[in-house]
Structure 1
Amino acid sequence: MNREQAITEAFVGLTDTVADDVDPLTLLRRLVDHCVRLTGMDAAGVMLANARGRLQSAVVTEERVELTEMFQAQADEGPCIDSYHTGDAVHADDLAASDERWPVFTPLARAAGFAAAHSFPLRLRGQNIGALNLLARTPTPLTPDDVRLLAALVHTATTSVVTWSREPLRPYDIVTRTQAALSAKAVLDMATGMLAATAPLTMAEAGQRLRGYAASQHLRSADVAEDLVRRRLTPATVLAGTP
């Protein structure tokens, strides 16, 4: 698949909101996967604003990204925090030069193995609902073409995340659906922890097993997680049924 085909596939995947297995977290996971695949970034994540306006991690491509997002949320500083509050893209091609800019976040991000960070706001109808977090292990600038592509992907994903339901969008639904995505993330984390506690799996591996089971059963990951947490489904069944 060439780059043009990959870009087309990315936009098609982010606008596919009618499939039965699609939910906000699935759409955001597609976003971060495409962002890494189509740019020079090594990892990505999305943070969403909770009811108090504080950012929380929603999806990540690897566990160390979630650590950097926790650093930003706790310190209230970093590229995602700035992007969310300003509504503008934020770029740090080399974190080694950002100690004064983000004195708490920068050394922690570098200790996690990242040397560059970029962030784009998730914005819809004049309302900021979160930020995309892009990280690289070496100092890495984004090209102007990358910036335009990422901005378009983020806008497409943001629109899809808020409007994925077949119900008509009302003025307060933007916040409601953002909160629903964060609630689904909390349930997903609990279910993933249950799988990791049942078998010798890391959280990342357990998450993959849960998504694999959901795909094999043509179910949404969020629904499988809900069934696990409510004991309508056993961890053994999910682990045994994963391809």
Structure 2
Amino acid sequence: MTRQKTVTTHMNREQAITEAFVSLTDTLADDVDPLTLLRRLADHCVHLTALDAAGVMLVNARGRLQSAVVTEERVEITEMFQAQADEGPCIDAYNTGEPVHADDLTASEDRWPVFAPLALAAGFEAAHSFPLRLRGETIGALNLLARTPTSIPPQDARLLQALALVATTSVLTWSREPLRPYDIVTHTQAALSAKAVLDIASGMLAASAAITPAEAAQRLRAYAAVHHQRPADVADALVRRALTPQDVLAPAP
């Protein structure tokens, strides 16, 4: 019985890993855009490992990392800490092009005197980061956090690196046009601009329905999925008043 359960669990994980890679290469669907792909990356990293939360930071036009997607609001807080203090695992992973690990942040205060205490105060005790790299260019970093001291086993580290590579490739080739070196900044800046519009639209929904911005963003994504639209396009329509908050908040048919 135990052996059968072990085999079944292994098969379920293998299936989940396969589905993760398939979802990250789905660039042809009408309702998929770079932010959707990065959101899937963050979600898969949490579901497939012992980590509790994840996010992605992308480099902006000024060469600074900026939060693009998160699985929960507190992750974005840690990313803001890193960007403002110019220190932390994502900053180091982006600058070096190598994975960065802090299994226990309580032992990392000398390493990151600003970031480590603030991340601990936000409820996270471990932080890991993998660079988002393609063809020698680093466009950002994958931000991985745990609420207790947590190391990443070698097999999970290889999986996370592979997922990050596939997602980076999909984001940069999403337009299905030949990628030129100067297009990389254009692609990342477009994703960050879409994130800004999503934040505004989520704020509009939150104010209309008296819900949190995180709940509003979830409602927006649900509306986009039901109507086979990109979340960024729905957000843009809300900001332009082509859609009303009531349209998006109405129960799905």
State TM-score, norm by structure 2: 0.94
Unaligned runs of 5+ in 1: none
- d(CA) in 1 for partners of 2:208, 2:185: 35
Match for 2:235: what amino acid? A
- d(CA) in 1 for partners of 2:80, 2:175: 29
- d(CA) in 1 for partners of 2:252, 2:212: 16
Determine the structure 2 residue equivalent to 1:54: 64
| Secondary structure in structure 1 of the residue aligned to 2:210 | coil
Match for 1:69: what amino acid? E
Match for 2:181: what amino acid? P
Segments of 4+ moved more than 6 angstroms:
none
Equivalent of residue 206 in structure 1, options 212, 216, 219? 216
RMSD of the TM alignment (CA)? Answer: 0.9
Is the counterpart of residue 215 in structure 1 residue 225 in structure 2?
yes
CA apart distance, 1:125: 1.4
- d(CA) in 1 for partners of 2:69, 2:154: 25
Equivalent of residue 69 in structure 1, options 58, 75, 79? 79
CA contact (8 A) 1:213 1:242 kept: yes
CA deviation profile, 1:49-82 (whole Å, cap 9, x unmatched): 0011100000000000000000000000000000
CA deviation profile, 1:122-164 (whole Å, cap 9, x unmatched): 1111111100000000000000001100000000000000101
CA deviation profile, 1:147-198 (whole Å, cap 9, x unmatched): 1000000000000001011333223111111110000000000000000011
Larger Rg belongs to: 2
Determine the structure 2 residue equivalent to 1:148: 158
- d(CA) in 2 for partners of 1:140, 1:129: 26
Equivalent of residue 125 in structure 1, options 111, 114, 135? 135
Determine the structure 2 residue equivalent to 1:167: 177
Equivalent of residue 125 in structure 2, options 115, 130, 137? 115
| Equivalent pairs, count | 243
Determine the structure 1 residue equivalent to 2:145: 135
